[in-house]
Amino acid sequence: MKPDKVIAGIMLVVGLVVLFRTSTGGMGQSYSREVTVSPASAPDVQWSKYEDAFPREQGEPGVSFSWSRTLGLWISALLTLAIFSFLLGDNVVYKLAEAIFLGVSAGYVMVAGFYDGIVGKLLAGLAPTLMRDSLLPGLPPEQQTNWLNIVPLILGMMLLWRLSPKGGWISRWPIALFIGITAGFRMLAYFEADFVGQIQNTIVPLLVFAADGSFDWVQSVKNLLMVTGVLSTLTYFFFSVEHTGVIHRVSRVGIWVLMITFGVGFGMTVMGRIALLAARLEFLFDDWLWLIDPLNRRS
């Protein structure tokens, strides 16, 4: 039997289930609740906002079928299937979904960068009054204009010069600032937390005695193995000395320790990937197809 036939069979069954359940109104619907907002600071101003509601809540005051959320749910489900279609080979549907993903993610981070970085940090410093009157009404009144923010503004413009076909060297100044700052703070952090810190963490008693004075052999063996493991792995990393004789044997132990570390990492990676798949399948089965209802959204 060819897998294509089985896959086609599964797709047919899923298609029929979707058709049947959609026609009976038994899947893929979203509801929202209309909530009236009456801000305390402006009693004459009032508006409505819409919050997610469960299908079981339909009929309650303010709860109604939401076209925009239902459309969104269907698009989400179809995009999920579009990405999964890559398993059958590269195809137009997958490429389309990939293209949308690329555009949306770039657009989203730019918006986040604009409001949280350019507005929240740069313009809040350069034009606090304007920001207070428009985008950031809660900006503290004591915040004065910080003229030093002109420096990152100019450097930012210089950074964007990189997009120009000529004068690419102009963007080196802001890049240098980036690199210099990163080098400065990373050097300290890594030295303190990952170099000195890890050495400190490794200095543990090799003979451990419990509070009642008895010898705790289990903890002693653990500490001994941990210290031996760190030292032997570091020996393996030490390439300035030829790995022969004792060094060879010790570094071989180090390789074994690393292999256990990587084995743990591999096992955990598999665990992570399966969890992500389970979450997507749960979305399809619960939110879209209504085959399961673990959160009692519908009953």
Partner 1 sequence: MKRTIPVLIASIAGLVLIIAHFVPPAQSWGDEVNTWFQILAAFAFFLGGGSLLKMHLKRISDQQEGWGFSAVTLLAFGITLIVGIFKLGVLPSETYPTKPWSGEYLGDGGALWWIYQYLFTPLNATMFALLAFFISSAAFRAFRAKNTEAMILLVTATIVLVGRTYAGAFLTEGFNPHWQLAAIIDEWFMSVFNTAGARAIKIGIALGVVSTSLKVLIGTDRSYLGSEE
Partner 2 sequence: MTLLKEGQIDRRWIYLAMLCAVGLPILLQLTFPEIPSPKVLDVFDAVDKLPEGSRILMACDFDPASAGELEPMMSAFVRHCGTKNHKLIFLALWPQGAPVIKSNIVILNKEFPEYEYGKDYVNLGYQPGNEVVLKVLVTDFKKQCSTDVDGTSTSTLPLTRDLTKIQQLSLVISVSTGNPGTTEWVQYVASPFGMPMVAGTTAVQAPSLYAYIPRQLISVLGGIKGAAEYEQAIIDHYPTMGENNGAREGLRRMGPQLLGHLLIVMLIVVGNVLYFSQKEKGVGA
Q: Which does 246 bind (CB under 5 to 8 A by kind): partner 1, partner 2, none?
A: none
Residue 85 beta carbon to partner 2: minimum distance, rounded to whole angstroms: 12
Q: How far is CA 20 from CA 17, 26, 202, in A?
A: 5, 8, 63
All residues at 6 or more sequence positions from 45 whose CB lies less than 8 Å from its CB, including other chains: 38, 39
188's tokens = 């300290």
Residue 61 beta carbon to partner 1: minimum distance, rounded to whole angstroms: 19
135 is a site residue for partner 2 (CB under 8 A): yes
Interface residue with partner 2, options 16, 187, 201, 222 (CB under 8 A): 201
What phi and psi values does residue 194 have, to the nearest 5 degrees?
Answer: -105, -20
Q: Which helix (H) or strand (E) holds 299?
A: none
Interface residue with partner 2, options 11, 78, 181, 183 (CB under 8 A): 181
What phi and psi values does residue 39 have, to the nearest 5 degrees?
Answer: -60, 140
261 is a site residue for partner 2 (CB under 8 A): yes
Residue 74 beta carbon to partner 2: minimum distance, rounded to whole angstroms: 18
Residue number with CB closer to partner 1 (20 or 164)? 164
- Across the beta sheet with 47-53, the strand order is 47-53, 31-37, 63-65
**In a 3-state reduction of DSSP, which class is residue 65?**
strand
Residue number with CB closer to partner 1 (24 or 87)? 87
Q: Which does 97 bind (CB under 5 to 8 A by kind): partner 2, partner 1, none?
A: partner 1
Q: Which does 17 bind (CB under 5 to 8 A by kind): partner 1, partner 2, none?
A: none
Residue number with CB closer to partner 1 (5 or 166)? 166
For residues 25 to 54, the per-residue mask of contacts with partner 2, x marking binding by CB under 8 A and - elsewhere, is: ------------------------------
CA–CA gap between residue 14 and residue 18 (Å, rounded)? 6
Q: Which does 143 bind (CB under 5 to 8 A by kind): partner 1, partner 2, none?
A: partner 2
96 is a site residue for partner 2 (CB under 8 A): no
Which DSSP string do the residues of 172-210 spell out, in sequence order? HHHHHHHHHHHHHHHHHHIIIIIIIHHHHHH---SS-B-
Residue number with CB closer to partner 2 (169 or 195)? 195
